[in-house]
Structure 1
Amino acid sequence: MTTNSLSGKVAVILGGTGGIGLAAGKAFASIGASVVLTGRNADSASQAAVALPAGNHLAAVAEIGDSASLRALAEDVQRHYGRVDILVNTAGFTRLIPHADLEALSDALIDELFAVNWRGQFAAIRAFAPHLRARRDGLVVNVGSIAGRTGQGSNVAYCAAKAGLDVMAVSLGRALAPEIRVLNVSPGAVGTAFVPGRSSDFNERAAKSTPLKRIGQAEDVADAIVACATSLRFATGTTIVVDGGRQLG
């Protein structure tokens, strides 16, 4: 029998000050979880945490590209709550670069894109794994993108990093079972400011080319993330696509 209550559970959300991260935090808190929202600075994390439904929540500072920062975060959360049940990786960044403009995708930018959109997620899982394993019912949810399947996205390296998250779920879903489940939630176009420089009419054009005739909202992705912890308890090593059918086009 499934239950929607996460009372007593602790959910850590990396990138918790962003649109999807904050929406996930609100959704987890609304069903009883204690939520740790992380951001790159204390002020943004604290402001985000204030927006959560009342509960035993925490704002924290962490840098997804810094493994030492992630290890320190894991230890701090464990000391504060005495447990960690759920890790959600929503942190990331991208830059809009035409796929045919090979020179614009420099080595330095490629390294940064992979450090923040793939290596950091792995490093976070590595840091939190001992605490998640101790619960014998741990959950990791990485937020990917259909760009990893379609090869259409803000730039080629971003698409490749997101494809890497799909493979990571398969590999770690196998390697960390049965104590930790690993799932990806893969959205299409979402109405946030995640992609800088995207034209103002992009959302309208994306909605027209999506079978369900709208783009996603942060809450749509958050609902899928929460479902991984509540309804989809016999799932691991796979990717849940939440794109309104966009990749069908």
Structure 2
Amino acid sequence: MSSQPVALITGASGDLGRAIAVRLAAKGVAIVGSGRNPEGLQRLQAALPEGAALATIQQDVTHDSAPQDAVDLALKRFGRLDYLVNNAGIGQPKPVHETSDADLDLFLNVLLRSPFRYCRAALAAFKGEAAIVNIASTFAVIGGLRGGAYSAAKAGIVGLTTHMAAQYGAQGVRSNVVAPGVLRTGMTEYAWNSERFKRMNFEMTPAARPGTTEDVAGLVALLCSPDGAFINGQVIAVDGGWSATKYLSDAALTRAG
């Protein structure tokens, strides 16, 4: 068994998953990247530092065999599993009155049921000190327009994580939530330049710039490192102060009409 720590990252074919993988790999962590998009997994491979250890698996996280298949790959290729980052997600939710049962099932399956099942599979593979980082959203901790099933599922992730922090912390398994605000990724590109989006996000955020995937990746890397060894059961927003303040930009405060 290798002495190199190993991280399983779901949603690794997307922008945020790739940034997390790059940051962890730079710290000497071997990466097992799970993703639906084969081209995205190829971009992940190209983005990693030279010599980084990587195994990828193309899968739909909602399939029943997906969690165990990914964990088995980690054990087969690297002989261990130390970190799980539940990052796979979907966006563009609707308010409750516009949400069909099919929409509800999809959001719950991708954002809550699947992370639950990956956690369960990983717990059986961990040996000694380990860490789980569940990627939620500021919409898990604060009311947000059009959150609907997305908000419900992400809030469920918070409950799951705090339970695991209590249940498994004494075994050396730390569980935390990272709750990003809006980031410019393929999931948000469709709305990024709309006036409504800018007002709701940029003009209500004290930070002078938008958040980046690297901002989130840095926190995930901390939580998976010895520097995060006494952090357990926390929900940490990475949003420039959006969810914690009543900030409005000067432009918003002085706009007429």
Aligned partner of 1:137 among 120, 126, 129: 129
Aligned partner of 1:194 among 170, 177, 187: 187
Hey, what's the Cα distance between the residues in 2 that align with 1:198 and 1:67? 33
Aligned to 2:71: 74
Q: What SS does the corresponding residue of 1:176 show, helix, strand or coil?
A: helix
Hey, what's the Cα distance between the residues in 1 that align with 2:145 and 2:33? 27
* 10 and 154 in structure 1: CA distance in 2 versus 1, 3 angstrom threshold: farther
1:111-134 CA distance string (max 9 Å, x none) = 1100000111011111111112x2
Q: What SS does the corresponding residue of 1:150 show, helix, strand or coil?
A: coil
Larger radius of gyration: 2
Aligned to 1:240: 236
Contact 1:203 1:215 in 2 (8 A): no
Structure 2 counterpart of 1:227, which letter?
L
Aligned to 2:204: 209
Q: CA deviation at 1:203?
A: 5.5
Superposed counterparts of 1:74-223, under 5 Å: 74-97=71-94, 99=95, 102=97, 104-132=98-126, 134=127, 136-177=128-169, 178-195=171-188, 197-198=190-191, 200-201=193-194, 204-205=198-199, 206-223=201-218
* 196 and 50 in structure 1: CA distance in 2 versus 1, 3 angstrom threshold: closer
Q: CA deviation at 1:56?
A: 1.5
Hey, what's the Cα distance between the residues in 2 that align with 1:22 and 1:47? 8
Q: CA deviation at 1:20?
A: 1.1
Contact 1:138 1:180 in 2 (8 A): yes
1:8-59 CA distance string (max 9 Å, x none) = 1111110011111100000001111111211114443233222111212112
Hey, what's the Cα distance between the residues in 1 that align with 2:188 and 2:182? 10
Kindly indicate whether residue 31 of structure 2 is the aligned counterpart of residue 39 of structure 1: no
Note the residue ranges of structure 2 that are not aligned, 5 or more in a row.
Answer: 247-257
Note the residue ranges of structure 1 that are not aligned, 5 or more in a row.
Answer: 1-6
Hey, what's the Cα distance between the residues in 2 that align with 1:90 and 1:28? 14
TM-score (norm 2): 0.87
Hey, what's the Cα distance between the residues in 2 that align with 1:77 and 1:199? 36
Hey, what's the Cα distance between the residues in 2 that align with 1:222 and 1:203? 23
Contact 1:14 1:89 in 2 (8 A): yes
Query: Taking every aligned residue pair, what percent have the same amino acid on both sides?
Result: 28
User: How many residues in Structure 1 have an aligned counterpart in Structure 2?
Assistant: 238
Q: CA deviation at 1:197?
A: 4.3
Aligned to 2:44: 48
Hey, what's the Cα distance between the residues in 2 that align with 1:194 and 1:211? 23
TM-score (norm 1): 0.89
Moved more, 65-74 or 162-171: 65-74
RMSD: 1.8
1:59-117 CA distance string (max 9 Å, x none) = 212221123121111112111100011110110102242x3x60x20011101100000
Moved more, 34-43 or 122-131: 34-43
Q: CA deviation at 1:155?
A: 2.7
Hey, what's the Cα distance between the residues in 2 that align with 1:158 and 1:127? 24
Moved over 3 A (4+): none
* 145 and 63 in structure 1: CA distance in 2 versus 1, 3 angstrom threshold: same
Q: CA deviation at 1:226?
A: 0.5
